[in-house]
Amino acid sequence: MCIYPGHPYAPVGTAASAAPPPRALTPQAYDRDLLARLESSLHDEFRRTRTHRFRSGDDLVLSALYAYMLLEAPEERGRHEAQVLPKLSPQYYMLELENKWLWMMRSYADILRKRPKFFCLNDILGNAVHHPALLAERVFLHLYFNKSVPVERAYRRTE
C-alpha cells in the first residue's frame, strides 16, 4: 500500500488535478535495535544525512543499508536468509509502470489472477500527470482492491 500525502486516490473516471501528483511514500518496517546499532556505527553519515533538507547524492540510503545489515553483518548471520523469488510468485510481484502497453496489461492480469501476498508498482514514468499508464494503474487497483476499508469509508463520508 502506498500513501500519497495530501493526494488521495480519486475514484476512476474523475478529473485528475492539473498539478503533478506527489511521490508516493511506502511504509517500511524497521527493527529499532538494529537502527540504533547502525546509527552508532555510522554516526557521522547519519548526522550528515539529517542536515540535508532535500536528498543529496551522498546521503545514506537507509533501506539499502538496513537490508545489507540484515544479511551481511556478522552478528546477524544465520538469523535471516535472502530468497530470490521468481517474477510472479505466490509471495511477490514487482511491476514497473512503463510505456509497454501489452506487457503491462498482461502483468496486471497475472497479478489479478494469481493474487500474490505482496506486489510493488514502481512508477518510472516521471511527472506524467495524464499518462494512460496511470489511468490503467487506477483501474487495476480498483479491480484488485474492490472493497473499501473502514478508513476509506470514513473519508468518503467527510467529503
pLDDT at position 66, please? 85
Task: Determine the pLDDT at residue 34.
Answer: 87
Cβ-contact 116, 92 below 8 angstroms: yes
pLDDT(78) > 50: yes
Query: Residues 101-158: pLDDT tens digits?
Result: 788 888 899 899 988 888 888 777 666 667 777 778 888 888 988 887 777 777 677 6
- Residue 44 reports pLDDT greater than 90: yes
Please, what is the angle between helix 43-50 and helix 32-41, to 10°?
Answer: 100
pLDDT over threshold 60, residue 16: no
Q: Over the chain, what is the mean pLDDT?
A: 75
